[in-house]
Chains A and B, each alone.
Chain A
């Protein structure tokens, strides 16, 4: 379990990157609808740690982030790639405790 930041540090529909103790990077998103998500920050197509810098939105109502590298979309709940369902990024449980955003081990 890692405390990442205060919830108020997360502006709506914009991601931030956080470093976990094991060296893994997570992208944490707080959507305009008030939901909280955490995924691996690594874009599986380029290998670059950039998903936190993608544009957040929805496709057919499902919240997604678009990789800033080559624009594939990843569903924020499942980590599934919309363009290729066989590809997923790791999803981390995330919750708010006492105003702090907490990322759990997957």
Chain B
């Protein structure tokens, strides 16, 4: 007989409880029903701030939609009748329960400052809160726009990042003398303040907000230290309070400082009622992090299925990147243990602060704080409470002893978000997990904050699973390393490169990769021995199709074309009997051309003023545009003109993968620019530049890199972005994956190409200038060179004889390939 489990709350912890129960309940003992207040399915609240990058809530949704679980969204439980064992929802649904789990989470604490409820005052907890902030910010006039964040903890700094990304200058007010007082000590806080101030965030520490007043359409915030701030928007991020009102009304006991009082099984005094996550008070404490919440969810799931799990010491270790600054804190970060010793390395020049807290005899690691460089976190955090694995000063030194994965004992937690031990990871590797994605799928390690991913890589390596970045068996170098070699040595042939830096004769992986590098550095792609390096598409400057014929795509910059040129394309298609289709990139694809017909087709197109559209290359394809302000009554900028300018500037640029772009003339975004590698959207004041989006197999929204820039700045930023990508991405790595794999992600990219922190921007721009200056049409290059032309024949001993295997039939009035039938695979 099935029993009824009702879960109140559909946040991360409630969701985890349900998936864990469903996973363990093979016998189908529990029928599960969930009531959630928010109208969206459960999402990753830890990553809330990333919503600002794309405004795509689907990217945050948690996996695990289970058709056998009934979820009521936007319908919170409003009453519990413990005597009748029923709950009542806002919409009036009444459900009986055998077990009731409260996972109501917490609500933002808004200090009772006068004016805290004025329009423009917001909190920061849900996607709806962010939508509200976005909507309000959009109404604030452009110009000098500012926002106040009340609270300089983790959440406050997240909010400051979101506001900055929305184009406001954030001020952060923190009552404590330094930022993130719960996680870091004074020294770490001082460096954090310095690093964050450099990112246009103004910090007011050691003071509170005393009043918020209306002031001529804006808000005036008065601080305790006498400062007055003119701001447009206020966000309260001053802590959270457990949501225990439902439990209180049902007569359940609460903790001293709130929270539903539960025992170590996470059960209330009522044996049918449990509480998990931020609404629960366990062991006298309320936990505001997701990892303890997940641990509670696992305990209750185990208990509901007859287990005896208990909630033990919660891991409060934290590692995050705030505004691009690494911050980590673990164990006894504030050295509260009796006689605790501290070892500190404070490098103001490098911008890193590292502290280890040791037991009074310096033998045991108790905790630590890392700011600016938290690379040691993955190795150190699991060692808390264990003998110190080396000399403490050496462990903190930048290029010092790196603590290998080998030092970790089997029961140490590698992933604290999902409570995965080293033994579990090693077990998964032994069962055949050969890379990080496989480990994530198998153990869930690395699927939370992701800070343990470097450690997962190390564990793979120490288990002897090779994590090679080698291009292929002929080069042990990565693409990036090889590109540097080619650039710095001046080697310009594959044969010399493989002889000096590789082995063997090369293959279909390294040859096209090197050909692309050589092309990025100048010269026709079919010059001399380069021909033999190219994939067939680059060899014939056309796209191979399933029957061995090719398709031809002339460039139509920005999708703008005269009727006369359209007629030329039509005539060529008619005369060569080519199947014709409009592409997604606003151009025209002509299919079914044989190798020997290609030059004749190009001749007609080139004579009419067309050139190669590079549809065949790992290169810039198109810059798609909407019609823009010339015609469109909504357009605010001339998107067609800019698209043409960009397409002509970057045409022919060879890159690790294809590049697509778009320009939209207003925020309606008809050019779908945010699904492109670089996308530009017009604003009333200039252009917003988005980067690293793509369609295809795993679509990604492009993310905002710079806003309201003028055309000259825009072009300069795109120049830098593209060359940096060409030089540093892996083979066949599109821009989205490239940015994701970057240590520091989009913030790092912004630092390099907007703020020029590496000092390479002038060099990047120079490389693009060289590319633009040396561009020449590749089709014309073949037509003008008899030696290159000679390769366009069907048979070396019978030029002009068509390939007898190529045959066509007609479909909807056009020629399409006759299927080549069953593959002619023959056994030996």
Contact = CB atoms under 8 A, between A and B. Distances in A.
Interface of A: 2-5, 9, 11-14, 16-19, 23, 25, 28, 31-33, 42, 44-50, 53-61, 63-64, 66, 68-69, 71, 73, 80, 86-88
Given A3-B797, A14-B531, A55-B535, A46 B546 contact: yes
B400 interface: no
Nearest to A71: B508
B820 A48 contact: yes
A47 B507 contact: no
Contacts of A32: 495, 505
7 contacts: A5-B797, A11-B532, A17-B796, A31-B505, A53-B536, A55-B507, A55-B512
A15 B532 CA distance: 9
> Which interface residue of B547, B794, B824 has the most chain A CB atoms within 10 A?
B824
Contacts of B806: 49
A69 B826 contact: no
Contacts of B535: 55, 68
A25 B795 contact: yes
B824 A44 contact: yes
A80 B806 CA distance: 25
Given A49-B548, A57-B511, A19 B536 contact: no
Interface in B150-166: none
A23 B828 contact: no
B112 interface: no
A68 to B, nearest CB: 4
B804 interface: yes
B825 A45 contact: yes
User: Which are the 10 A-B pairs with shortest beta-carbon distances?
Assistant: A47-B820, A48-B548, A68-B536, A66-B508, A57-B507, A55-B508, A16-B796, A13-B532, A14-B532, A53-B536
Contacts of A23: 804
Contacts of A17: 794-796, 803
A97 to B, nearest CB: 15
B488 interface: no
Contact of B507 (A45, A59, A68): A59
Contacts of A28: 796
A55 B532 contact: yes
B821 to A, nearest CB: 6
Interface in B7-39: none
A106 to B, nearest CB: 13
B504 A61 contact: yes
Given A18-B797, A45-B823, A49-B548, A12 B532 contact: yes
Given A11-B531, A17-B795, A49-B548, A44 B820 contact: no
A78 to B, nearest CB: 9
Interface string B789-809: 000001111100101111000
B3 to A, nearest CB: 53
B828 A13 contact: no
Given A17-B795, A44-B823, A57-B506, A12 B511 contact: no
A58 B506 contact: yes
A42 B824 contact: yes
Contacts of A16: 795-796
A85 B663 CA distance: 49
A80 B512 CA distance: 23
B209 interface: no
A18 B796 contact: yes
A22 to B, nearest CB: 11
A50 B508 contact: no
Interface in B495-512: 495, 504-508, 510-512
A41 to B, nearest CB: 9
A44 B506 CA distance: 23
A60 B473 CA distance: 8
Interface of B: 473-474, 495, 504-508, 510-512, 529, 531-537, 539-540, 544, 546-548, 794-798, 801, 803-806, 820-828
Nearest to B549: A48
A47 B532 contact: no
B796 A9 contact: yes
A73 B473 CA distance: 14
Nearest to B544: A68
B619 to A, nearest CB: 18
Contacts of A25: 795, 803-805
Nearest to A33: B505
A87 B798 contact: no
Contacts of A44: 823-826
Contacts of B827: 86-88
B472 to A, nearest CB: 9
A88 B546 contact: no
A54 B119 CA distance: 66
B507 A50 contact: no
Contact of A18 (B507, B508, B795, B824): B795
Contact of A58 (B505, B540, B822): B505
> Which interface residue of B505, B532, B533, B544 has the most chain A CB atoms within 10 A?
B505
A49 B506 contact: no
A33 B505 CA distance: 9
A19 B532 contact: no
A86 B796 CA distance: 30
Given A18-B797, A57-B511, A12 B825 contact: no
A74 B361 CA distance: 66
A39 to B, nearest CB: 13
Nearest to B595: A53
Contacts of A31: 505
Given A31-B505, A86-B827, A87-B826, A46 B820 contact: yes
Contacts of B473: 59-60
B505 A63 contact: yes
Contact of B797 (A19, A45, A64, A88): A19
A63 B512 CA distance: 17
A67 to B, nearest CB: 9
Given A32-B495, A33-B505, A63-B505, A53 B539 contact: yes
Contacts of B505: 13, 31-33, 56-58, 63
A88 B539 CA distance: 26
B82 to A, nearest CB: 65
B826 A88 contact: yes
A69 B544 contact: yes
A49 B511 contact: no
A19 B805 contact: no
B828 A88 contact: yes
Contacts of A80: 828
Contacts of A60: 473
A13 B91 CA distance: 74
Contacts of B532: 11-14, 55-56
A88 B529 CA distance: 29
Given A18-B797, A45-B823, A46-B546, 5 more contacts: A11-B531, A49-B548, A55-B508, A57-B508, A68-B537
Contacts of B804: 23, 25
A88 B823 CA distance: 12
B500 to A, nearest CB: 15
A28 to B, nearest CB: 7
Contacts of A46: 546, 548, 820, 823
A46 B819 CA distance: 10
> Which interface residue of B532, B806, B820 has the most chain A CB atoms within 10 A?
B532
